[in-house]
Each structure stands twice: as structure tokens, then as C-alpha cells.
Amino acid sequence: MPGPDVTVIIAAYNAMPYATRSVTSVLGQTLGADRIELIAVDDGSTDGTAEELDRLADEAPLMRVIHQPNSGGPAGPRNLGLDRATGRYIFFLDADDHLGPEALERMVASADENGSDVALGRIVGEGGRRAPQSMFRRNQPRTDVFASRVYWTLNPMKLFRRELIDRLRLRFDTGLSIGEDQPFVATAYLEAAAISVVADYDCLYWVAREDGNNITAQEHGTRMRMDLFRTMTGLVADRVPDGPDRDALMHRHYAVELRDAVLQLCREPQRDVQDKLLRELADLVTPYWTEGLAARLPAVIRLRCHLVRHALLDELLTLVHWELDRGAASYGITTLAPKAAEGPDLLVEDGRVHALYPYFRDSTLGIPDDCYDITAELRVRHRVESAEINATGLRLAGHAYIHRIATTDVSTELVLRRRGSDEERRLPVHHIPTPGLGADEDGGRHDYGTAGFDVTVDLAPLAAGLWDISLAVGAQGVTKEARLGSSRAESVTDATTVLVTAQGVAVALYTTKPYGNLTLDVGETRPRVRPRLRVTSVAWSPDAPATLAVSGRCTLAGWPKDALTVRAEGPDGAERTVVVEPSASDGRFTALVPCATAGEWRLGLRLAVAGTGAEWSVPVPPQPSLAPARWQRLGMPWYAKPLPGRDALTLRVERVQLLKAVRGRLKR
């Protein structure tokens, strides 16, 4: 009999009443109880957790409970569970937390389909607990730590392929008092054949306990935080060569673990101990400090690292207290300070923006301005209110501003860049007043009253290719660029708009996936014209003899006048055309096509732009059910009948030969 698909391991210590919900969320998984093995390890609980786990196990055949004396942390219980696990995959669940009903089914399916060794499910917080979000913006069937943000969540509540764990002999580090899960998860990430991210379902609920006893909420000494920082930076350095990839992973540890170590250092009661620990911390920070890493870090972290590297204790303490006043918090549980929404004052100078953190341009310290430069951190906030394209141009309107930079001396431009080339076009926009915009942000400290824009793009000069649309938003000499379209009014849909210009060029406006940014396609690189030309039915007109009523639909947004026709190609290059005039609302049309001239006539729907040579055509499909037509002209009988075996509706039109017709009747 095959083993279970997933072994869920729950390490529990004094987890009542949360343990009940945690266990039942596993037992109720849509994956099916017969595919799940649940191992709960009670780590010497004294609050009834042990008894509750035994009670639940009595009702669940695939659940086992292991009791052991308290080990002081989750590493030991998780390792014991791993020793007993038999599932193809392992999922670690804290006894405080619980799963969404479809979590395991979705993660197993993603891992199986993509050959992934690790699968992450979206995490949401309950009770005020903060959960990581940046890696869950979209589903990622196959990714890694360098192409995504998964490295920023190193908790073990993930699906791991047991084959990977066994091959690497992975176990949780019982020597770490905090962050014992990070070496395990980081190693699995780095060695995984692929990592899957399930972001379209709430898989894991992180719960903030009312008693505040979540492990991540407890204080741990500076030495413990330093040990974790040393372990993780050493692990990254051992496994990833020096360069941008290493810097990308180090960013996480300098931003989180180093920050937490510094926060704990400030709580040390003795000055000499603080000084000694700071010098040790400086020795840990310096070996992996590179320009590439510095460029990735926000300014406040660069400042913090500068103070640590130079062992400036008093200045570091001042910075930490400044941060705490504004809501600095450890990863996980936090209660933001009243001033959390208040960022530092800013200095805009020579196109750069500096945050006035403590000791800015203090002549006695000489801290580099780079430690205060937040220009790269500022974000453009934008919205497209309308996007209208016709045969002459594309008109865009909306608003855009650099957050925290007042819209004075605005100098915004629309930027078009052709993919695969260095070609770009810049167009100044017409600035529109936006009184009151952003008044609810930052306590109304910044005025965004001239953030509106209106611009029209002439399509004629654009070379064939894909043109990505951005805004270079400028104010007070500061310029930041952002792709346009991800934020837009409901009226600006994600439907692709295709048209044909007077120059005979197909142009499409569409939104990219998954972000919804706007792009112009000139010359049918992707969206095509022909699929938007369609004939839906053909019948003989009841009102006009020898006339076909050809119905169809054209979903192009525009084309030159009289360019769309139903064409009949006849003998010796003869041609008959009827101009099609679709309705403005849905593009439907019916064209009346006379068919009274002798010969074989092949019918098609054509869009041809005079003088350009540009032409698109689709055949009128064969109509097996179309009966022959008969009529009188000048007293003589005529007929038209469809010819079988053709790729398009083809009619043979002839005068009835009376003698031949009589002979035919006599032979019957």
C-alpha cells in the first residue's frame, strides 16, 4: 500500500486552545485524510495540550502523538517528527496556526506538476500578526531564490519534498535559540530543483496569540541574534559565490537579522557589554559588506551598518530609539508606534532626496550622504483614468506623482521604448491640476495638486515593434520612472484594442500579464488583424434576386473609410466589391452582394488600405446548406449555385441553357 502524500508535523508546547484548531485544520484538508499522516510532538506541555492532542488522535487513525520532556524550542520536536515521517512531502505547522481547507491539495498539485522540491502557500495574518506578502503577489509555478522574493520568508511552514530532506540530511539546528528554522529552509531553497508559489489561495493563517507567547514575539538576547546573523551570512557565503546573487540574499539578513540584533543590543543594561557586543557585531558585518550589497539596502539600513562598522555606539543607540519611536519592529508581531506614519523630513537637492535621519551632515562624524539618500526608494503613485486609441493617435490621461515629493516645478514626460532596441520617444505631457489629491496621505504634509497628465501619441512615426509605455515623473528636479497601466480606472479595461491606420499599419493597445502595464504593438508583433474579421452567415436576400446577404463582425477599433469590403473574385481577374459598414456598437454587419454576372466567383472579406499595399482578408466560409438561386433576367432564366470542395464560398453563375435543360428533363 502506498504511503501518504504529506506528513504534517506539529511541534506543540502549551498551545491551548490554538492546538485544537491547528490539528482539525489538517484533518479537514480536501487532499483527503487517507493521503495525510499527522505527527504531533508534545514538547512537555503543562496546560492541557498533551491531553487534547491524545483526544484528537483517538478520533483520527492517521494521527500520531509523541510526548517528550520540554526541549526548550521547536527544533527538537520537529526533528523527532522528521525521523518518523513517511510521506512524500513534509509540511511543518506551528500549533498556534492553521491551514486553509485546500492548502495541502493545492501545494501538492503545484509541486507535482512542476517538479518542485519546495512549495509555498500564501500566508495571511490573524489577530494583528504581520505576514510576509512580497513573495505572494502572483502564482509562480517554478522559481528560485534569485528570480523571486521567496528568500524573504524563511519560516518552515512550507511543503518540502522528503527526498530532498533525506538527501541533504536536513535537520533543524538545536544549537540556535532563535531562528533555528532559517538554515533548514535556506539550504532547502538553495538546493531545490525548483520552488513553487501558490499565491491565489490563503493556505496558512498566522495567528497572534492573545497571551503574546508566539516564539517570534518573545525577546531574545543580543548574543542569540548575533549567532543567527553569523550562521546565516556564513551559510550564504559558503553556498553562493561573491557577486550580485550573494548580495541579493545577504540583503535579507542585513535588513532583518542585523536589525533585530541591534534592537536587542539597545536593551542590554550595561554600557561595557553594549560596547563589547557592538565591536563583535562590527566584525560580523564587515566581511560581506560590498558596494553591490550597499546599493540594494535602504538608506536607513546603510546608516545603521555604517554606525555598526565604525562602532559608534551612542549614535547607534540614538538611531535605534529614533526608529522605535516610528514603529520599528521585529519580523512577525508588531504594534506600530503613533508616529509610524510619519517618515523623516526630506531635503531635495540637485535631483537627489535625502532623509534627515539623525546625524545628517554632522561635521564631527562625516557620515557619507549616501547613508541618507532615499532617491531610489521613492515610489511613483499613478493611475490611468482614460486610454483612447484611434487611427490618428493614442490619448492617455490620469495622474502621477512621486510619493512625498510635492508637485511643484513638475516636468513629467511620457516615454515609449521599443523592445529589443535602444529606440525611445519622449513626449511632454499637459499638466492638469488635481486639487486635494493625496490629502489623506502622510497627514497631508505633501501637496500633489499638479499631478494630472494628458498626452496624445502620434502613431504614424512609430516603427514596427512593441512599445512599452512609461511615465518619467518629475518634480523639483527629481525624476522617477514607472510603467503605466497597472493602476487604472474600471473604464480602462484589459481588453486588447486593434486598429488599422491610414498608413496601412496595424496598431494594438494591450495590457501585459500579470502586471497589467500598457504596451503598443505596431505591425502585428502579437495581436493580429485577421482574427478580428469574421463572416458568421450567408443567405440569399429575400428582397433582391441574385443577391447574397453576407453577415459578420469586425472587432477592430478603427480603419480607413471604405477599406473594409466583401469582395467577389471572378474570371480573368474580374472583381466586385461591396463596402462594409459595421455598427458602431458591436461591429456587426450585413453586406448585400449582387451575384448576377456569369462566371465562378470566390467570396472573401477584405480590409485593404488604398495606396499602401496593406491588405488583410479572410474567406467567406463554404456554406453546404446554401441552396442554388434562380431568377429571370430579360426573360431568360439564370442560376447561381455553390461549388463543393472549395476553401471559400465559390458560386457558379450562368444563364440556363434551355436546350440542355430540356434534354436533361427528357432523360429523367
In this predicted structure, what is the pLDDT of residue 331?
A: 36
User: Given this model, what pLDDT does residue 391 score?
Assistant: 80
Q: Which residue has the cell 540594494?
A: 296
**pLDDT > 70 in the chain, percent:** 94
The domain spans of the chain are 1-213, 219-338, 383-493, 530-661
Q: How many CA atoms, within 13 angstroms, populate the side-chain half-sphere of residue 145?
A: 27
Q: How far apart are CA 620 and CA 648, in angstroms?
A: 5
- Report d(CA 630, CA 344) in Å as an integer: 87
| pLDDT tens-place string over residues 267-297 | 999 999 999 999 999 999 999 999 999 999 9
CA 389/CA 299 separation, integer angstroms: 42
In the prediction, which pLDDT does 584 show? Answer: 85
pLDDT of res. 220: 52
Q: CA angle 559-565-568, nearest 5°?
A: 155
Residue 651: which of 599, 604, 605 has the closest Cα? Answer: 599
- 3.30.420, 3.30.1480, 2.60.40, 2.40.40: which CATH number matches 530-661? 2.60.40
pLDDT at 441: 82
Residue pair 548/541 in contact (Cβ under 8 Å)? The answer is yes
Output the CATH code of domain 1-213: 3.90.550.10
Distance CA 94, CA 82 (A): 14
Q: Which residue has the cell 463543393?
A: 644
Rounded to an integer, what distance in angstroms lies between the CA atom of residue 364 and that of residue 310?
Answer: 14
DSSP string, 306-352: HHHHTT-HHHHHHHHHHHHHTT---SS-----TTTT----EEEETTE
Residues 195, 110: Cα–Cα separation, whole Å: 9
First-to-last CA distance in the chain? Answer: 76
Residues 601, 125: Cα–Cα separation, whole Å: 69
pLDDT at 210: 56
* pLDDT the model gives residue 217: 41
Extract the C-alpha cell encoding 528.
Answer: 493580429
List phi, psi (to 5°) of 96: -80, -25
Low-confidence residues in the chain, pLDDT < 70: 1, 209-220, 328-342, 658-668
What is the full DSSP assignment across 101-136? TTHHHHHHHHHHHHT-SEEEEEEEEETT-----GGG
How far is the C-alpha of 279 from the C-alpha of 265, rounded, in Å? 11
Q: What confidence score (pLDDT) does residue 633 get?
A: 87
Query: What fold does the segment set 383-493 form as a domain?
Result: Immunoglobulin-like (2.60.40)
Identical fold for domains 1-213 and 383-493, yes or no, is no
